[in-house]
Amino acid sequence: MKHLLSPLDFTTDELEQLLDLARDISKNRDKYSHRCDGKKIATLFYEPSTRTRLSFEAAMLNLGGSVLGFSSANSSSAAKGESVSDTIRVISCYADICAMRHPKEGAPMVAAAKSGIPIINAGDGGHQHPTQTLTDLMTIRELRGSLNNFTIGLCGDLKFGRTVHSLINSLIRYENVKFILISPKELCIPDYIRETLIDNNIPFEEVEKLEDVMPQLDILYMTRVQKERFFNEDDYLRMKNFYILDKEKMALGKKDMYVLHPLPRVNEISVEVDDDPRAAYFKQAQFGVYVRMALILTLLGLDKE
Ligand code: CP
């Protein structure tokens, strides 16, 4: 049984197949509308979510299946002290596949060890967010035509931003991808990510000022300062408006640069940027449904006609 716990659980060939399937789904929705008839997805969200949970539910409904689950730990028996291991043993009796978000790093891996159904890591603490990475890869591939040969600037909270960690881990497997890591020192990437870049001889630089590197970027990946992971409110308040992408900064970027953001956004992208044709973050959220449909089909072995 295959799970998706880390973005590296799929080889690049498997990812290519999954992204091809997601593209086919986006163009031929009717063809897939009964592929999961009779199947159920459990969405176990111990942390808040809008896109990930609802796009998983939309994905399963689009495939003809059904959904069950909870959207906060407080509305589940976790509030009474039930362990993730026990919960998943029970959920395995109710559903065919499970998407889990949890504040503790590694919780979906703990669940997978006891699960009778495929587990999808829908975000574990500040660690990884592999299905956001699938969404990001699909977005970059659809917009640029390839996952090779580009410069990506990752900007904002690179310390706690799990989408950034997953995306870097995944993109280093492609050719000629250069990383520009844009953050204040206090929010720079964790050492283990930097070591991965160094060990794999991946070109990268770490800078603080977004304006200085804008002209070099093919993709600008903005991120929110992750309030929920800060230990004290004052540090968050000091950092929360460190970067604000506005029209003035967009004017420094290439005409064919794209702006991605996993969302939710707070202040880091001014709403005036939304009308710029290079703003791709809402399109990215739409791709998230197609890629999750492809993932559900793949993990359930229903991806072939
Ligand atoms: N991108 C993302 O994970 O959004 P949600 O927190 O709304 O699921």
Q: Quick: pLDDT tens for 137-171.
A: 999 999 999 999 999 999 999 998 889 999 999 99
Provide residues with CB under 6 Å of ligand 1.
49-52, 123, 132, 262-264
Can 52 be counted among the known catalytic residues? Answer: yes
Mutational pocket test of ligand 1: of 45, 52, 283, the residue with most ligand atoms within 8 Å of the beta carbon: 52
Report whether 260 contacts 284 (CB < 8 A). yes
pLDDT, position 239? 80
Spans in the chain with pLDDT lower than 50: none
CATH 3.40.50.1370 fits 7-128+288-299, yes or no: yes
Instruction: Give all strands of the β-sheet with 258-260 in edge-to-edge order.
Output: 204-207, 177-182, 150-155, 219-222, 258-260
Residue nearest to atom 3 of ligand 1 (CA): 52
Ligand 1 centre distance from Cα of residue 201 (Å): 31
pLDDT, position 138? 98
Can 127 be counted among the known catalytic residues? Answer: no
Which of 40, 101, 141, 292 does the annotation list as catalytic? Answer: 101
Instruction: Give all strands of the β-sheet with 66-70 in edge-to-edge order.
Output: 66-70, 40-45, 97-102, 119-124
Q: What is the pTM of this model?
A: 0.95
Tell the CATH topology of 130-285: Rossmann fold (3.40.50)
Rounded to 5 degrees, φ, ψ at 150 are: -155, 165
pLDDT, position 226? 80
pLDDT, position 187? 93
pLDDT, position 305? 77
Rounded to 5 degrees, φ, ψ at 46 are: -85, -5
**DSSP notation for 240-279:** TTS--B-HHHHTTS-TT-EEE--S--SSSB-GGGTTSTTB
For residue 2, give Cα distances in angstroms to 74, 116, 134, 182.
Answer: 29, 11, 16, 35
> What is the C-alpha separation between 279 and 269, in angstroms, rounded?
10
**How many CB atoms neighbour CB 77 within 10 A?**
13
Hey, what long-range contacts does 242-248 have (CB within 8 A, 24 or more apart)?
242/156, 242/184, 242/187, 243/155, 243/156, 243/182, 243/210, 243/268, 244/268, 244/269, 244/270, 245/155, 245/210, 245/220, 245/269, 245/270, 245/273, 246/270, 246/272, 246/273, 247/272, 247/273, 247/276
Report whether 137 contacts 295 (CB < 8 A). no
Give the H/E segment covering residue 150.
Answer: strand 150-155
Q: How many CA atoms are closer than 13 Å to the CA of 99, on its beta-carbon side?
A: 31
Residue nearest to atom 5 of ligand 1 (CA): 49
Q: How many CA atoms are closer than 13 Å to the CA of 209, on its beta-carbon side?
A: 4
> What is the C-alpha separation between 292 and 44, in angstroms, rounded?
16
| Rama region for 100: left / alpha / beta (φ>0; ψ in -120 to 50; rest) | beta
Residue spans in the chain of domains classed CATH 3.40.50.1370:
7-128+288-299, 130-285
For residue 157, what are the contacts with CB-CB under 8 A and spacing of at least 6?
164, 183, 187, 223, 224, 225, 226, 239
Ligand 1 centre distance from Cα of residue 123 (Å): 9
